[in-house]
Structure 1
Amino acid sequence: MSQKRSIFEEVETRDKAVPQTGVIDRAKRGARGPVRLWLVLIFALVVAMILVGGLTRLTDSGLSITEWKPVTGALPPITQADWQAEFELYQKIPQYELQNMDMTLSEFKAIYWWEWGHRQLGRVIGLVWALGFIGFLLARKIPPGWSPRLLLLGALGGLQGFVGWWMVTSGLEGSMLSVASYRLAIHLGLAFVILGFLTWYILMLSREERDLIQARRSRERKLFGMGTGLMHLAFVQILLGALVAGIDAGRNYIDWPLMAGGFFPPDPFQIEPLWRNFFEDAGLVQFMHRMAGYLLVVCAIVVWLRARRSPNGTTRFAFNAMIAMILLQMVLGIVTVMYSAPLHFAILHQLGAILAWVLILRARFAAQYPHAQSVRG
């Protein structure tokens, strides 16, 4: 028989379920900061790789190593016999037979070191990626959902190695004095794709997942779409720049704004079949690069004017930096052409392309994930 309870007696009640909050905060977040620093290191190495690759092309050094040895090739020639053996391999390719017959061993060493350094940087990047990925994976510090993204970077890096050798083989036979320009464009284009992914991932890891989810709700769709279009146009311009570099087209028509006194270069479409002119005719290739550059500047100004109406100050600043770099890059391009693409101007122009590419991506990211700000802005 149950006992009577006093009205003053505390009655034990079952704990009711309490709504859970902050699920994203408590979820396993991984080591976002260290992973970001690791990607920043790879980003810096890729930028150096692109610049060294540009110098390798400008110094005609890309064909100095005629074999692909991913592991043993990390060691350069040491003895005089080793150097002589490498030089003899180079003497068998068209570039030496048709252009550098009077080259000495010491001159060969100069171009050899550029290409060796370029390949060595590729090995370092692969090693840094592999050690970092395996280390974070074993320590279970990779943020949730990020393993496929980081694996993609490694896969693209491996593909870049194969594309690089595919590019080099185009200059080892026939009557080629350098690598095929379209293969060079693919090689450089893939480098910028890798750089683009690195930029985006670094920006994402610079903020917490909960911040990105909240920011995405207030994204500026139209501005993000315009930024995406500008990104694609910039990528096409980068590919055209690679075609210009591949055939030294920047050194043939050095007047501006005209080309050899006219708007259109003289005697285009002289190469058979017709499609080869768009890759191999110096005048036509430089003309396409110029026109794409003008179009890029116009489109960038339109996007910038739209971005000025953004209510977010950080977004406006990102697009201000973007338009400033694109205008500077146009000036660098004009100066490079008018001085017949000397080494220092040409490499500055390539660095400008890297900065413009990164700033376009940064502005696009700001439109997709605007920073929170006060009502006053």
Structure 2
Amino acid sequence: MTAGAVLLGGLTRLTESGLSMTDWRLIRDMKPPRTQEEWDKEFERYKQFPEYQLINRRITLNEFKRIYYMEYLHRMWGRLTGLVFFIPAVYFWQRRYFDKGLKIRSIVFGALIGFQGALGWYMVKSGLKNETLIDNYPRVSPYRLAAHLGTAFILYSGFLWNSFRYLFPSERQVVSKIWGMRVHGLLTLVFITAVAGAFVAGLDAGLVYNTFPKMGDHWIPVEYNHLKPWYKNLFENPAAVQFNHRVLGITTTAAVMAFAFMSRGKGFGRRAAMARNLVAAMVLIQATLGISTVLYYVPTSLAASHQMGSLTLLSLTLWLAYEMRRLPKV
């Protein structure tokens, strides 16, 4: 369910549907417009906001319905995810199936789900104001988008790691502290690269340069230090943001491949070795998807696959980190 929310969120962003629902009501939002009068009223409301006034003035009612339903599906999926979590959690808690640790984790997971919903509206709200336009274009805040995606990845990682604990119970043992630290370093790189990708999406930075490995005729874009103070370029300059994401992606790929090569013959065992090999294969697939997305001018299918590729890579790296804990100390 959480992975599906990430996919739908990416599609909502890529189809520029996220600003079609201009209000947030927990219960009333669950009923979409049905009659012609209700659709006309919702469309008129949409016309009061910058996205329509600046870029969608020629949109028809039927076209509006398409983007509205995309955002509606994303919101309803989020609500359904909450129900799928909370209803069983309350039942199992009351039946005393949870130990103390799982009770604490369930509270944390539930809080993150609620926070994620509130953060989603906080993000959308940033794109509904003239004061927050980016280059005179209505976009949600890239900071809030990155926080929204990052929180989804954290929630997903918590669920996945928790499932490993019960599917594959074991003592906390690692092959060595050095290799354990290296796997956690890979996890950090994968996560940071994914969050950097959210800034690329938030600024439409993937459309700035569509060449690889160079950015146009240069290795470093000439606009890299365009904004003042300098640190704004890291988060608000599309050319710099795309360049940074490229560097992080290449660094992550190189680090994973170096880890896979150096760890051969280290006695990882069958499951850990399989996880390591899958991480290495996935990082190459993810790099290929990222390069292809840029070269083909960010088609929706490739961009969505690239986003889900980051979640897949994170999943496999988490599995590798867990398997490292199951190995005997050496």
Match of 1:350 in 2: 307
AA aligned opposite 2:102: W
How many pairs are equivalent? 323
Match of 1:207 in 2: 168
AA aligned opposite 2:251: L
Contact 1:249–1:283 (Cα < 8 Å) also in 2 = yes
Instruction: Give TM-score, length-normalised by structure 1.
Output: 0.82
Shift of 1:141: 1.7
Contact 1:231–1:361 (Cα < 8 Å) also in 2 = yes
AA aligned opposite 1:338: L
Q: Aligned equivalents of 2:126 and 2:214: distance in 1?
A: 33
Match of 1:266 in 2: 222
Match of 1:194 in 2: 155
Which deviations, in whole Å up to 9, do the C-alpha atoms of 1:78-137 show, x marking residues without a partner? 111111121112111111111111111111101000100000011001111110101111
Contact 1:221–1:368 (Cα < 8 Å) also in 2 = no
SS at match of 2:58: coil
Match of 2:181 in 1: 225
Match of 1:63 in 2: 19
AA aligned opposite 1:223: W
Q: How does 1:186-335 map to 2 (within 5 A)?
A: 186-208=147-169, 212-213=170-171, 216-217=172-173, 219-311=175-267, 312-335=269-292
Match of 2:69 in 1: 113
Contact 2:174–2:328 (Cα < 8 Å) also in 1 = no
Q: Which moved more, 1:275-284 or 1:187-196?
A: 275-284
Q: Cα–Cα, structure 1 residues 218 and 326, in superposed 2: closer, same or farther, change >3 Å?
A: closer
Q: How does 1:123-134 map to 2 (within 5 A)?
A: 123-134=79-90
SS at match of 1:333: helix
Contact 2:173–2:324 (Cα < 8 Å) also in 1 = no
Match of 2:320 in 1: 363
Contact 2:123–2:145 (Cα < 8 Å) also in 1 = yes
AA aligned opposite 1:194: L
Instruction: Give TM-score, length-normalised by structure 2.
Output: 0.94
Q: Cα–Cα, structure 1 residues 274 and 81, in superposed 2: closer, same or farther, change >3 Å?
A: farther
Match of 1:13 in 2: none
Q: Cα–Cα, structure 1 residues 138 and 255, in superposed 2: closer, same or farther, change >3 Å?
A: same
Q: Cα–Cα, structure 1 residues 86 and 306, in superposed 2: closer, same or farther, change >3 Å?
A: same
Shift of 1:305: 2.6
Structure 1 unaligned regions, length at least 5: 1-44, 373-377
Match of 2:125 in 1: 169
Contact 2:223–2:240 (Cα < 8 Å) also in 1 = no
Contact 1:252–1:340 (Cα < 8 Å) also in 2 = no
Percent identity of the aligned residues? 36
Contact 2:175–2:328 (Cα < 8 Å) also in 1 = no
Contact 1:156–1:194 (Cα < 8 Å) also in 2 = yes
Contact 2:173–2:328 (Cα < 8 Å) also in 1 = no
Q: Aligned equivalents of 1:75 and 1:310: distance in 2?
A: 57
Q: Aligned equivalents of 1:274 and 1:225: distance in 2?
A: 32
Shift of 1:144: 5.0
Structure 2 unaligned regions, length at least 5: none
Contact 2:173–2:325 (Cα < 8 Å) also in 1 = no
Contact 1:249–1:285 (Cα < 8 Å) also in 2 = yes
Match of 2:7 in 1: 51
Q: Aligned equivalents of 1:178 and 1:237: distance in 2?
A: 21
AA aligned opposite 2:293: T
Contact 2:127–2:141 (Cα < 8 Å) also in 1 = yes
Which deviations, in whole Å up to 9, do the C-alpha atoms of 1:52-99 show, x marking residues without a partner? 100000010000011110111111111111111211121111111111
Which has the larger Rg?
1
Shift of 1:268: 2.8
Q: Aligned equivalents of 2:281 and 2:230: distance in 1?
A: 38
RMSD: 1.6
Q: Aligned equivalents of 1:218 and 1:186: distance in 2?
A: 32
AA aligned opposite 1:349: H
Runs of 4+ more than 6 Å apart: none
